[in-house]
Chain A
């Protein structure tokens, strides 16, 4: 039953996976190209089955603060939006991180800056991986490249968020949000009971304070010495996440003379270019970071040891390439960027051409 193969959009998969994971609440505001998440949830009416709360808020600002309020009571809550909406949420995301609250935020990226375009982009890489809001914090950032991963990363995102008490983000793009593909959805899990929440989240402001001291969820600490201690605690958590949670997928890197690094849906377009290159006998491999933070520095460093050049392909002006440069030990390595912006998705032959330029040392 649960192994049934379905065909759906990535955005729809997020919604179904949320219900099946036993998420307690979703709060969101429509924005292209991710409105199907809220639309699907409203159509499915999970409040009648699992008891999940679904609410269309008056803005993204309100959505993320609803997430903050819900997460503070120990519930599994999430929101989704697209780039301009995620920008509006940054203050709330900083509060979530500072209050050490687990939550899931989905960004189905569109081209910016500004109102930009509704078409696919990856130009929020810096925002997602390097902070985004104010203060020293990180999100766990998962980059799905298929509809199946859109579904799977809902559960993974929540598991990691609760494990480390930190918000997690699914950083998708318009391609993987809008495309339909086969997917096997997880089995229905029950929502956590009050008792479970009290046991697993002893910090939560559930209101049920009998037998314990009242809980206060706050990010405010005016004593600088104590605020520094808070920051040190956050950083310890981040070091632990960096140690334990790096995820990536490698294709054909064993014999690769050239390496492509790409994430999300674009990694698949790169794979097509790599398949074409391999047919011609050119040894090209791919590393697809799945966690953009923590970033797979070691894997890329290792793979780069026997390569002649690296091509980083992104739907932006060159953001992840900075992390690839940090990863690669050899300063003489030819590391190049190929990107399209403004909502344009390159086709495989453009990537093949960029690979050829790398191999032929052409600019």
Chain B
């Protein structure tokens, strides 16, 4: 392998005075000054939130308006900072989704504890809890920083569903009961 000898020149007088470097630096900062600012005027301008952003955890409904959470409490048990508190409840037998059997009576996420890790979303068998694009949680006291069930559904809204697991189960059960088994 050929050896390439790199010439190492001593610093010239101009370089040792440091002045040409300073002038070059001044030019750099001058050019920077003429560029448009890169900042957002925050409360008026909002950043675009990318897909898959892990914002505030929320509860969602399916497109038919059914609440998806069945209060299995997996998220509560997996939550590393113990931010989630679920009070499980029964669904009234007269309700149209009575076959689901359980729904949360109360669902609280303490946003002072939440670390936005997304484990609740990952563990949820019903795809009921989602970390969505909401990134700004503010409140003037501790109570305001605890999202209750109503707030969670308000934040979550409706997400598209590709399974309709419980509707399929209901249809299956009905078909089987009709076929006389």
- Do A and B belong to a common assembly? no
